[in-house]
Amino acid sequence: MTKILRILAGVIVLTFLFSCTAPEDGGVGRTTEPATEPAPGTAEQSESESSGVEGAEMVRGFYLGVENYGAPGTSKENIPNFRYVFEVAGEEVSYPAAADENYTVQNTLKRGSDFVLTVEDGVITAARDVTEDPYVYYPPISGEPGVRTIKNLIKTALGPVGSTLYVYGGGWNWQDDGSSVAATSVGLFSDWAWQFDINNADYEYDADDPTVSYFPNGGFNEYWNAGLDCSGYLGWCVYNVLNTESGGGGYVTASTSFASSLAERGLGTVTAGTPVPTLENYKPGDIVSIKGHVFMIIGVCTDGSVVIAHSTVTESRTGHKGGGVQISAVGWTKACEAYAVADRFMATNYPVWNARYETDLKDPSVYFPGEGGSVFTWSESVLPDPDGIRSMLPDRVLEASKG
């Protein structure tokens, strides 16, 4: 994995050099072109300035991950014994990290990024991301943080579509019990599109080899920043619609109880059960929890098929289980209206995704099992609908999201 990370860092520098002007149809880019030579204080050298803390030193390093990641003994039960590996001045160096109940250091560290570390008596007590020239993605459709309308909810939900991998535990924090820094960030988290672009149709969300897998082996979330799972995705969506600043209280929770958790916060109402879809009982913006999954309704078609937004595992065109955030169809066959709407939307707006994945289709019995699920509907006082989105069919909802 160390070798892979070094290669990927090089790929970013050599390949993804884009204009700082956002493309009209969305795209990826950098705020500036990367320097041709390492800047002073890069991962090639240790920082020399004082930390301001007696007995502490400042070290700059390129983070390579938890030592012996994927090994049987590298598990949540042994976190106090973990060491975190960095490339410092061309050599690999590992440090333990200070322990606190919020795992502050661990929830800051991201594989493949540069950090200035505060090291006291050989232990990391603080870490600051100093990655230069961060990766930037310009989505074809995106919302505006803090604008509380159903239309903006849909627009916000479309921001990570087609550019964010499915990562089990993505959006959850390092200790896997709540929202990550990514899920409480205003705007798209830069690592999502970066990870999508350095992978391809052969990406596996749970590869057999743990050293090249993004799966949270060992019960801790080493790749909390690399993508999103279903509840991480919707937790980020809710946060961005309701907030204008990063770092507040998050909304990520278990998928099965996600809908009810929003109602418990006073954001709307929840109804038990997931009836067969009709135009009357599901509306755009509704959030549906079933056992092991949660998704957002984009709309119900006249034939009862449904267009949804979610992050899910999808088999690629090369036969690998990857996937991520996407617009999908719930219907009986590819002849259903929802499939035509979702397929056209993904092909038109997300061509790179479309080249990797076919549009996902699930039978209604899978996503609307009747019992065991719940449906959350937003309170009009929390997210009003001045644009009439909730009365639209899904093709019109998606078209309106572009305006």
pLDDT, one tens digit per residue, over 276-292 is 999 999 999 999 999 99
Residues 88, 10 within the same domain:
yes
Domain-embedded: residue 214: yes
What is the pLDDT, as a whole number, of residue 272?
96
What is the pLDDT, as a whole number, of residue 53?
61
Lookup: tokens for 307: 């267009």
What is the pLDDT, as a whole number, of residue 56?
86
Per-residue pLDDT of 173-197, as tens digits, reads 999 999 999 999 999 999 999 999 9
Residues 309, 217 within the same domain:
yes
Residue 9 predicted with pLDDT over 90: no
Residues 121, 200 within the same domain:
no
Domain-embedded: residue 36: no
**Which of 109, 129, 149 corresponds to the end of one domain?**
129
Residues 235, 146 within the same domain:
yes
What is the pLDDT, as a whole number, of residue 132?
87
Lookup: tokens for 381: 């006082």
* 71-100 CB burial, b ≥16 within 10 A, e <16: eeebeeeebeebebbbbbeeeebebebbee
Domain span holding position 289:
141-400
User: Which of these, 281, 311, 285, lies nearest to 296 by C-alpha position?
Assistant: 285
Residues 157, 281 within the same domain:
yes
Averaged pLDDT, 256-260: 98
CATH number at residue 45: 2.40.50
Strands 114-120 and 361-362, how do they pair? unpaired
What is the pLDDT, as a whole number, of residue 403?
84
Q: Between 127 and 38, whose confidence is greater?
A: 127
What is the average pLDDT score of the chain? 88
What is the pLDDT, as a whole number, of residue 35?
30
Lookup: tokens for 151: 């239309």
Number of domains in the chain: 2
- How far CA 70 is from CA of 145, 176, 212, in Å, comes to 37, 16, 9
Residue 164 predicted with pLDDT over 70: yes
Per-residue pLDDT of 302-326, as tens digits, reads 999 999 999 999 999 999 999 999 9
What is the pLDDT, as a whole number, of residue 333?
97
Identity of the amino acid at 230: C
Residue written as token pair 């499939």: 339
Domain-embedded: residue 35: no
Residues 125, 145 within the same domain:
no
SS (H, E, C) the chain: CHHHHHHHHHHHHHHCCCCCCCCCCCEEEECCCCCCCCCCCCCCCCCCCCCCCCCEEEEEEEEEEECCCCCCCCCHHHHHHCCEEEEECCEEEEECECCCCCCCCCCCCCCCCEEEEEEECCEEEEEEECCCCCEEEECCCCCCCCCCCHHHHHHHHHCCCCCCEECCCCCECCCCCCECCHHHCCCCCHHHHHHHHHCCCCCCCCCCCHHHCCCCHHHCCCCCCCCECHHHHHHHHHHHHHCCCCCCCCCCCCHHHHHHHHHHCCCEEEEEEECCCCCCCCCCCCEEEECCEEEEEEEECCCCCEEEEEEEEEEECCCCEEEEEEEEEECCCCCCHHHHHHHHHHHHHCHHHHHHECCCEECHHHHCCEEEEEEEEECCCCCCCCCCHHHCCHHHHHHHCCC
Least confidently predicted of 134-138, 149-153, 310-314: 134-138
Residue 367 predicted with pLDDT over 80: yes
Residue 13 predicted with pLDDT over 70: no
Residues 95, 228 within the same domain:
no
Domain-embedded: residue 353: yes
Domain-embedded: residue 33: no
Residues 379, 291 within the same domain:
yes
Averaged pLDDT, 44-61: 65
Residue 396 predicted with pLDDT over 90: yes
| Rounded Cα gap, residues 59 and 43, in angstroms | 9
What is the pLDDT, as a whole number, of residue 377?
98
Residues 70, 176 within the same domain:
no
Residues 116, 193 within the same domain:
no
Domain-embedded: residue 365: yes
Domain-embedded: residue 374: yes
What is the pLDDT, as a whole number, of residue 54?
64
Q: Between 28 and 129, whose confidence is greater?
A: 129
| Rounded Cα gap, residues 185 and 164, in angstroms | 15
What is the pLDDT, as a whole number, of residue 343?
98
CB count in 10 Å sphere of residue 40? 9
What is the pLDDT, as a whole number, of residue 311?
98
Q: Between 37 and 1, whose confidence is greater?
A: 1
What is the pLDDT, as a whole number, of residue 249?
96
Model confidence at 43, in pLDDT bands (50, 70, 90)? very low
Residue 31 predicted with pLDDT over 60: no
Domain-embedded: residue 287: yes
Residues 324, 239 within the same domain:
yes
What is the pLDDT, as a whole number, of residue 48?
42
Residues 232, 361 within the same domain:
yes
